Structure 1
Amino acid sequence: MKVLRIALITALTISTAGCSSLGMPGEQGEEKHVVSKISLQKAAEKADAIMLSTMSSVQPALNWVHDGSTDGGCGEYTIDGKKTGSVTRRTAVMTIVSEARRGSLLGVVERHWKNQGYTITSMNTSKEFPAINARTPEDFRMSVLVGGKGQFFFSVVTPCFIESEVAPPKTNANGTPFEGPKVPDPSVHSDFWSATTPIPSPSP
């Protein structure tokens, strides 16, 4: 299981981090231009707001926790001669989401991102490990990935902004924080999301 989780996180990182820098080549090779000189801390706070909005869009509410938050440099790319960096925020869902309802949860997230004006950049329709990737007009990159035991993992990657100290997320998760480097398997039952039957279609 540990090897599987590492592989999933690696895949998620590759899918979100490769082209997430303003001023760096984008997905289709177009040149991005700097539109902001905010600090990396401010960018991280924006990522936290995107994450909280995404998690709050799901009803009935999910039980979720903050996963590892990381930041790193953007190589030789600078703004006004100052070094730049990027931050990745992550969350893990502790609610048990049944196989019958995983597609519905992915649909809720996809519709929320579209309603926010975000662009869906790719979708993995794998039955076992489906995923959705998206980005904002400011080039923040979001991903949702279904991992082992149907656990949902979310990430938000910022573009490159001027390096600064970055504090942990201040947004309040509604799950019990875990200890150690490994996120526990989902264990919180939901009468709705854990149900083993598909969500009934609305009556015509």
Structure 2
Amino acid sequence: MRRIARTVRLTSSVAVAGVLLAGCGLLGSGKNGEVSDMDMQRAAERADQILYATVGEIKPEIEWVHRATTTGSCDVTRYWTVMTVISEQRRGNFLGVVERFWKANDYRIEMVNPSQDVPTIIATSPEGFGTRVKFGYKGQAFFEVTSPCVEKSKVAGPKRVANGRAYEGEIPTPNVRSAFWSAETPVPDPAPSP
């Protein structure tokens, strides 16, 4: 049983890495597959816009913080951590909101992992940005956006301040309670129409 679980985790990890790395060189008519007229800084800003639009659709609002920015040879990735406790009973609703928003905005859904432990959705935006939302340790939600291959440049931190409090050092596990997202009951069915 452990071997199967380990194989499933490894296969999922390889698939995730492949989807996120595949963005480099998929789009654009620039040299070496770069997206024309975009450098790493502009790509990071676009990644931020993708996050802000996505979390803006989540109601009631969740708290999140900036986690990191990394750069590769021709791509940039922004990471954010959700600080709102999303109960196991509400994770499906949370992921459903994100998936519906991405589909409504012409994102291509690459993978949905319905795992009870680490549910994940991976998608690609119309302009080739790899996007991911996943749950990890202690049910903490994470967002990640990776650009397609762009022109190399310096990358500044995000301009917008996160809506969660700032943490010194390691970001803790989720610690902000929400009457809706943290409730340990399923979302009630809407009242039937008379």
Q: TM-score range by the shorter chain?
A: 0.7 to 0.9
- Tell me the secondary structure at the aligned position of residue 159 of structure 1: coil
Q: Which of 78, 83, 91 pairs up with 2:80?
A: 91
Give structure 1 regions of 4+ aligned residues with deviation exceeding 4 angstroms: 32-35
How far is 1:53 from its partner?
A: 0.6
> Bigger CA drift: 36-45 or 52-61?
36-45
**Percent identical across equivalent pairs?**
44
Give the corresponding residue for 2:153.
164
Could you state the TM-score of these two structures normalised by the residue count of structure 1?
0.81
Matching of residue 45 in structure 1 with residue 45 in structure 2: yes
Structure showing the higher strand proportion among its residues: 1
Could you state the TM-score of these two structures normalised by the residue count of structure 2?
0.85
Give the corresponding residue for 1:61.
61
* Structure-2 separation of matches of 1:62 and 1:16: 27
Distance 1:38 1:111, change over 3 A: same
Question: What whole-Å deviation, never above 9, does each CA across 1:107-153 have from its counterpart, x for those lacking one?
Answer: 00000101111111111111111100000121101000110111100
Alpha carbon RMSD of aligned pairs, Å?
A: 2.3
* Structure-2 separation of matches of 1:33 and 1:90: 24
Amino acid at match of 2:66: H
Give the corresponding residue for 1:129.
118
Q: Which of 119, 133, 140 pairs up with 1:144?
A: 133
Matching of residue 174 in structure 1 with residue 177 in structure 2: no
Give the corresponding residue for 2:22.
19
Q: Is the 8 A contact 1:16 1:142 kept in 2?
A: no
Give the corresponding residue for 1:81.
none
* Structure-2 separation of matches of 1:16 and 1:179: 32
Between the two proteins, the alignment pairs up a number of residues equal to: 178
* Structure-2 separation of matches of 1:18 and 1:184: 28
Q: Is the 8 A contact 1:57 1:109 kept in 2?
A: yes
- Tell me the secondary structure at the aligned position of residue 44 of structure 1: helix
Q: What pairs with 1:5-16 in structure 2 (closer than 5 Å)?
A: 11=13, 14=17, 16=19
- Tell me the secondary structure at the aligned position of residue 37 of structure 1: coil
Distance 1:14 1:190, change over 3 A: same
Q: Is the 8 A contact 2:35 2:148 kept in 1?
A: no
* Structure-2 separation of matches of 1:202 and 1:51: 29
Give the corresponding residue for 2:182.
194
